[in-house]
Structure 1
Amino acid sequence: MVKQGKTTVKAKRLTKTHTSNTLLLEIAWEVLNQVGGIYTVIRSKVPTVIPKWGNNYCLLGPYMSANVTAEFEPEEPLNNDPIGRAVRRMREKGYGVHYGVWLVSGRPKAVLFDLGSVMHKLGEIKYLLWENHGISTPSDDHLLNDVLAFGELVKLFLTELAEETKDSNKQIIAHFHEWMAASGIPGLRKDRVNVKTIFTTHATLLGRYLAMNDPQFYDHLSFMDWQKEARHFNIEANVMIERAAAHGSHVFSTVSEVTATECRQLLGRNPDVILPNGINNQRFEALHEFQNLHLENKNKIHSFTMTHFFSNYTFDLDKTLYFFTSGRYEFLNKGYDLTLEALARLNHRLQTEKSDVTVVMFFITKRPYYSINPDILESRALLEEFRHVIDSIKKQVGERLLFDAVSRKDTKLPELNEFVDDYWRLRFRRTLQTWKSTSLPPIITHNLHDDANDEILNFLRTSNLINNEYDRVKVVYHPDFINYTNPLFSMEYGQFVRGCHLGVFPSYYEPWGYTPLECIASGVPTVTSDLAGFGDYVQDNVPDHDRRGIYLVKRNKKSFDEAAGNLANKMYNYVRLSRRDRIDLRNRTESSSSLFDWSNLIRYYDQAYLRALEIE
């Protein structure tokens, strides 16, 4: 038997016979279109899928011209390939269909649809959706119009593919990810197209809305009227499409037991299988080098820290730990509120104990901003100038010291100050004086559009967690994603993660959660919660998770105060570790990443495909 969270399924093997006699198509809005986590799910899974399915595997997505140029290589569809022949049939009927290869590891086939080629039929598509399935859609919702166009093109394509394979023994599995890809499922079932459908909701649409607006979401879930709530948030048509896909699919699935509870209440169907998300460890693999990479990237973060803090006051970088959290700006859902409260408690505790350890906590998220704080840019420029002055002084002193040493009759070390010209002395003093400041280091790196109403900033200000010199916990709120072109860090996000000591993700609502997985694969200990799909999976399947550097904050049926105390204790215990203990923990964390590699977790997908194939 194979355990899926709290669900047990009968273990059967997907054989070579199955994969050679079946076409597997995965359909998602995020195919070659990086707008959410499903892009990462599919892209990271491909290298594990291709060796098993080979040429029988293909991805379907919308053609977003601005996004595909770098990753999509067009090819001519082959006549000996039923997928290629279905593409040709679609083109002959006037639909815009692009066929080619996605330039990622595994190089899977991809079919992308030009949504504009079916927009002339949008009125008919909406009428049939209402006539046959009772789903009424507004006329002025452009995203919903695109979703319906994509769903229609997918339905037409699968119909053509079924026609192409009707005289062969090949079966077709169409695996739909999320409601935005699945509006064609009800039509496929009504028309009895010979395709086995699987629908995976990674997060119920209504659940995300509710959790963002109800701090007692899980307590209230069993009493909620889905239609009333959908109307309240003006997403009734979207939710009805999601429900129709859930009920119309042959196999219904989600990514965690946490989300399965939502599905039962909000979508009205219990998932048949749970499909936990894995990670492609080869992308993060550094073998014995990962400890060196931690040190190398930590030194880059040290450089930022000096720029940000040291013009105001200094602290010991050898006794500084870097914590971080990242993701969409969802203050409650992502657990930013809990993280801030725990940090305030940690700060008080470290102050009381007169600890000499400094924790710098980074909040990496995306918010509308006007510009980077000019004071920070000026500080960075002045520090670079100061480095230039010091390098020049070192060069001058070195050259003069060498000449003086070989010329001296004794072996005494001369007074080095005598080797520095007055020009460089003055420049040294002026640069240092200009760089030094008496104000507090900023808690945010950018000037926000709505600074006064930002929940993170308001918490920091009201709790006086504003980077006072006596604070043992410092905060850097960075409302933009980190990449190599970022002028403040000049490093990729993955490098930043490797340079940190602890990732903190105690989410309140998180159907799965990739950020903790990325930490583990990089050898960085991480905090998750039992309300996150990943945390729930860890709780059920990794009994020694603490020893592996995967810390679990209990939030289910716990008060906010209890959870904040629990998180503060976990962070405090980490701060108390010795350097050797932290190195040992990073080793155990990195070795644990194999538990979550797609090579292990793909078996859940295999079970879903077997289940679909067994349906008559």
Structure 2
Amino acid sequence: MLFPDYIFETSWEVCNKVGGIYTVLSTRAKTLQDRIKDHVIFLGPDCWPDSPSPYFKEDEKLFTAWQQKAASEGLPVKVGRWDVPGEPIAMLVDFQAFFSRKDELYGKLWEYYHVDSLHAYGDYDESALFAYATALVVESFYKFYLSENDKVVFHANEWQTGFAALVLQHRQPQIASIFTTHATCIGRSIAGNDKPLYEYLWAYNGDQMASELNMESKHSIEKQTAHHVDCFTTVSDITATECKELLDKPVDVVLPNGFENDFVPKGATFTKKRKAARKRLLDVANALTGDDIQDDALIVSTSGRYEFRNKGIDVFIESMNRLRFDENLKKQVVAFIEVPGWVAGPRQDLVERLDSGRHFDTPLENPVLTHRLHNMDSDKVLNMSRALGMANARADRVKLIFVPCYLTGDDGILNMSYYDLVLGNDLCVYPSYYEPWGYTPLEAVAFKVPCITTDLAGFGLWANTEKGAYSEIEDGVKVLHRTDYNFSEVADGIKETIIRYAGFPKAEVDRCRSNAGKLSHKALWSEFIKYYERAYDIALEKAAERNS
């Protein structure tokens, strides 16, 4: 199989932590560095013109001669290293200067590839111009250091960087191209607009739906990139089906998302951190609700982007509501929703209680919420919990707590990072309706926290494949069957699984936790990199055919 001498990989999330693609690329970096050290180069947007990036360490000594050449060509770029394991070379591309040429560039994209930019709005322009600037940076580097004798792959992630793959293919056709869609624009939009995606997937026309949902331009660049690159990929079998139906293009390879487990503490450190996380979570619960929560209470959480239906936040709340009325529940449950909303800041009354170190027996006002929100009256989590009467009354054995902020360690309430908090959970629940892969359940099982997910998530399908049947909580992951219409059955499935788990003896809990950890080891990049090797081979073969 052909393997590249150089890999250039770009995403809006390189050195820019905004979503799951950051995790995909940053954890895979070390595996590629070990294979072709410093011949893998990541390119991301320069979002920090006036201050240093927290994820990037600039090094002006790297490629000094070329940096001067690039500057003379009007390509301002910062060169350094991504501050992640493996410390790969990274470049932050400034694209502001290209806004004046936007119409000219869009005209050429239409002329060469029929990319429709007429209906662009929102983040389309920024993405397109970043991608165009990225293509010029790679071209400049290629001309300065490399030649046709080098096997070079350019890997674009998501529609935001599709422009770069097309521009490079037009200008430097000897560079092999890969495009990965982590979720189709139209599939996510159909699901997010409360339309049934799966039962009618075969009947949807992607172009028609793009027009209906005002997504023509994003859909157009995604579709044309998929059709023109040397190797088109996605992250799971369920999204591969979506690509075939909505983009009219089968994928060449499925690239499942792996991870590195070097962030998982071991031995006594793991035990110490788990204990600290549980204490902090229970302290917050007591300070908010004023209830006496026992040390053996079951801590449950869901997390991710604030996509109320797609991520299954709605069914999570419904299941917790049903759980509080079920007499078979033998333990207290504290359920956390950890998704970033329109946060205004930490609640000062809660801060004062936590700082006092005391134990409380009276609730605060609105004891469901840890932070103030700008949109208190329209927030979906608060509205649904209010509609169900979930107010964390003292008699409720299930407490629901909304943490509407990024858990980076400085939120003002929990003040612990997500990875330090997640290991304090007993169960994590991710009942997604639309989830091409699903890093959150993979991260949970890496910390030996069993989780509940669905077979509409790529990770859930993968867990079933590993078992050869539907995975159960005893295996470390409970995979629930989910369709367009079985919301109620999923809510009951979550409720029943939590009740069963709460009744397990310690030995059975330990087995579940051990099996969760074992399953996560099967998703290490050392196991999944073979799929990328196949994609590189296909792209290089296709590029060789094109240039012959």
Contact 1:162 1:193 in 2 (8 A): no
SS class of match (1:294): helix
After TM superposition, give the deviation of residue 68 of structure 1 in Å.
Answer: 4.8
After TM superposition, give the deviation of residue 497 of structure 1 in Å.
Answer: 0.7
Indicate the residue corresponding to 1:38 in structure 2. Answer: 21
Indicate the residue corresponding to 1:610 in structure 2. Answer: 537
Change (3 A) 1:29 1:481: closer
Indicate the residue corresponding to 1:446 in structure 2. Answer: 371
Indicate the residue corresponding to 1:379 in structure 2. Answer: 353
Indicate the residue corresponding to 2:486 in structure 1. Answer: 559
After TM superposition, give the deviation of residue 188 of structure 1 in Å.
Answer: 3.3
Contact 2:346 2:412 in 1 (8 A): no
After TM superposition, give the deviation of residue 23 of structure 1 in Å.
Answer: 1.2
SS class of match (2:199): helix
Indicate the residue corresponding to 1:69 in structure 2. Answer: 53
Indicate the residue corresponding to 1:464 in structure 2. Answer: 389
Cα displacement string for residues 477-521 of structure 1 (whole angstroms, at most 9, x for unaligned residues): 121223432332232222211111111101000111111111111
Change (3 A) 1:497 1:216: same
User: Does 1:235 pair with 2:209?
Assistant: no
Alignment of 1:124-203 (within 5 A): 124-138=104-118, 141=121, 143-164=123-144, 167=147, 169-191=149-171, 193-203=173-183
User: Does 1:314 pair with 2:297?
Assistant: no
After TM superposition, give the deviation of residue 360 of structure 1 in Å.
Answer: 0.6
Cα displacement string for residues 582-613 of structure 1 (whole angstroms, at most 9, x for unaligned residues): 23322332233211111111111111112222
Contact 1:297 1:495 in 2 (8 A): yes
Change (3 A) 1:77 1:152: farther
Contact 1:148 1:183 in 2 (8 A): yes
- In 2, Cα distance between equivalents of 1:445 and 1:164: 53
Indicate the residue corresponding to 1:582 in structure 2. Answer: 509
| Match 1:209 to one of 189, 211, 217 | 189
User: Does 1:327 pair with 2:323?
Assistant: no
Amino acid at match of 1:359: V
Change (3 A) 1:463 1:444: same
Indicate the residue corresponding to 1:366 in structure 2. Answer: 340
Q: TM-score, normalised to structure 1's length?
A: 0.82
Which stretch shifts more, 153-162 or 42-51?
Answer: 153-162
After TM superposition, give the deviation of residue 356 of structure 1 in Å.
Answer: 4.6
Indicate the residue corresponding to 1:341 in structure 2. Answer: 318
Contact 2:131 2:161 in 1 (8 A): yes
Change (3 A) 1:537 1:447: same
Change (3 A) 1:86 1:230: farther
| Match 2:88 to one of 108, 112, 115 | 108
Alignment of 1:223-302 (within 5 A): 223-287=203-267, 289-302=269-282
After TM superposition, give the deviation of residue 53 of structure 1 in Å.
Answer: 1.3
Amino acid at match of 2:337: F
- In 1, Cα distance between equivalents of 2:147 and 2:333: 66
Change (3 A) 1:42 1:469: same
Cα displacement string for residues 115-154 of structure 1 (whole angstroms, at most 9, x for unaligned residues): 0233333232122122223334249846322222222223
| Match 1:503 to one of 410, 428, 446 | 428
- In 2, Cα distance between equivalents of 1:218 and 1:85: 53
After TM superposition, give the deviation of residue 85 of structure 1 in Å.
Answer: 6.6
- In 1, Cα distance between equivalents of 2:394 and 2:522: 42
- In 2, Cα distance between equivalents of 1:251 and 1:329: 32
SS class of match (1:465): coil
SS class of match (2:36): helix
After TM superposition, give the deviation of residue 451 of structure 1 in Å.
Answer: 2.9
SS class of match (1:26): strand
Cα displacement string for residues 216-255 of structure 1 (whole angstroms, at most 9, x for unaligned residues): 2212222223223222332211111111111110000000
Change (3 A) 1:365 1:128: same
- In 2, Cα distance between equivalents of 1:70 and 1:374: 28
Alignment of 1:349-364 (within 5 A): 349=326, 352-353=327-328, 355-364=329-338
Amino acid at match of 1:271: V
Contact 1:325 1:503 in 2 (8 A): yes
Higher-Rg member (1/2) = 1
- In 2, Cα distance between equivalents of 1:141 and 1:215: 23
- In 2, Cα distance between equivalents of 1:212 and 1:167: 45
Amino acid at match of 2:500: N
Contact 1:151 1:184 in 2 (8 A): yes
Indicate the residue corresponding to 1:486 in structure 2. Answer: 411
SS class of match (2:340): coil
Change (3 A) 1:120 1:554: same
After TM superposition, give the deviation of residue 579 of structure 1 in Å.
Answer: 3.0
Amino acid at match of 1:570: T
- In 2, Cα distance between equivalents of 1:541 and 1:474: 34
Contact 2:454 2:479 in 1 (8 A): yes
Could you list the runs of 5+ residues in structure 2 that have no partner in the other structure?
A: none
Amino acid at match of 2:58: P
Change (3 A) 1:439 1:107: closer
Contact 2:190 2:196 in 1 (8 A): no
Indicate the residue corresponding to 2:477 in structure 1. Answer: 550
Please tell me the root mean square deviation across aligned C-alpha atoms, in Å: 2.6
SS class of match (1:155): helix
- In 2, Cα distance between equivalents of 1:87 and 1:171: 22
- In 1, Cα distance between equivalents of 2:345 and 2:76: 41
Contact 1:285 1:521 in 2 (8 A): no
- In 1, Cα distance between equivalents of 2:178 and 2:262: 28
Amino acid at match of 1:128: K
Change (3 A) 1:156 1:550: same
SS class of match (2:17): coil
Q: Higher helix proportion, which one?
A: 1
- In 1, Cα distance between equivalents of 2:353 and 2:56: 42
Contact 2:330 2:502 in 1 (8 A): no
User: Does 1:520 pair with 2:445?
Assistant: yes
Cα displacement string for residues 340-399 of structure 1 (whole angstroms, at most 9, x for unaligned residues): 2222222222xx24x551001001111124444444344335x43x48xxxxxxxxxxxx
Which stretch shifts more, 36-45 or 474-483?
Answer: 474-483
After TM superposition, give the deviation of residue 162 of structure 1 in Å.
Answer: 4.7
Could you list the runs of 5+ residues in structure 1 that have no partner in the other structure?
A: 1-11, 388-434
- In 2, Cα distance between equivalents of 1:123 and 1:89: 27
Amino acid at match of 2:23: T
Which stretch shifts more, 538-547 or 465-474?
Answer: 538-547
Change (3 A) 1:572 1:74: same
Which stretch shifts more, 585-594 or 494-503?
Answer: 585-594
- In 1, Cα distance between equivalents of 2:172 and 2:114: 19
